[in-house]
Structure 1
Amino acid sequence: MTFDVEIVLRARDHAITERIEQAGEPGEWTETDVAAILREILLAIDRAQNPGAAERYVALRGFSWIVEPATGGVVIAIEIPSGAAVAGPFDIAQPALDRMISLALASASPKTVVH
């Protein structure tokens, strides 16, 4: 599927829209797919802030997120210190996407290591 990400960077008064491709339809997604989508949204913010820069590693931490109802489904809204993005809409139930995002973020969290 294809979806839009609208990005507003801090100290800017206009949005930038980027189109992203994701395999499969929202009803078929797994937490791995959702983690990939979150990374793509964060990379889109980075591309808006640093056009022409090489793609960087993305960690799934340090950002706020919410899944909100919208025309045509739900959207994922993300806020980081450099700006915010809204992606979607996605044709999936809000609780299901909330759960998959929570699982994706939990599995991406650093594990405690005892030596």
Structure 2
Amino acid sequence: MTFDIEIVLRNEKDAAVERAVHPRDPHKWDEEDVRDVLRQILLALNRVGNPGAPDPVVALRGFSWIVEPFDEGRVVIALEIPMGAAIAGPFAIGRTALDALVTRAIATTGGPPV
């Protein structure tokens, strides 16, 4: 599936939009799928804030997030780091289900950052 990531950097007025791809539909996601989507969002924020820089190592720590309704049956993931904020989606999955998946995905992140 393809989804948009809208990014607003600190002290900027305009948003940038990046398009991302994930191979599975949201209603089939597990924690690893959510970790991949969160990494894509964080990397998109970095690309907009640091154009031309290589992708950094990503750790799923140190950011605020929330799952919010978008329209009937779809939600977005909003997250914020010191560099700025991003909203990704919309995703065709229930708010409660995705909220639980994000919570578990972050809590069970093990091993070194990727």
TM-score (norm 2): 0.93
Q: Displacement, 1:87?
A: 0.3
Total equivalences in the alignment = 110
**What whole-Å deviation, never above 9, does each CA across 1:43-63 have from its counterpart, x for those lacking one?**
000000001111111000000
Which whole-Å deviations, capped at 9, do the CAs of 1:51-88 have from their partners, x for residues lacking one? 11111110000000000000251000000011000000
Equivalent-residue separation in structure 2 for 1:44 and 1:79 (angstroms): 12
> 1:77 maps to what in 2?
78
Aligned identity (percent) is 55
1:10 and 2:10 aligned: yes
Runs of 4 or more above 6 Å deviation: none
**8 Å CA contact 1:9, 1:84 repeated in 2:** yes
TM-score w.r.t. structure 1 length? 0.93
Q: Distance in 2 between matches of 1:30 and 1:23?
A: 12
User: Computing the radius of gyration over CA atoms, which structure comes out larger, 1 or 2?
Assistant: 1
Q: Secondary structure at the match of 1:108?
A: coil
Q: CA RMSD in A?
A: 1.1
Structure 1 segments unaligned to the other structure (5+ residues): 111-115
**In structure 2, what is the equivalent of residue 113 of structure 1?**
none
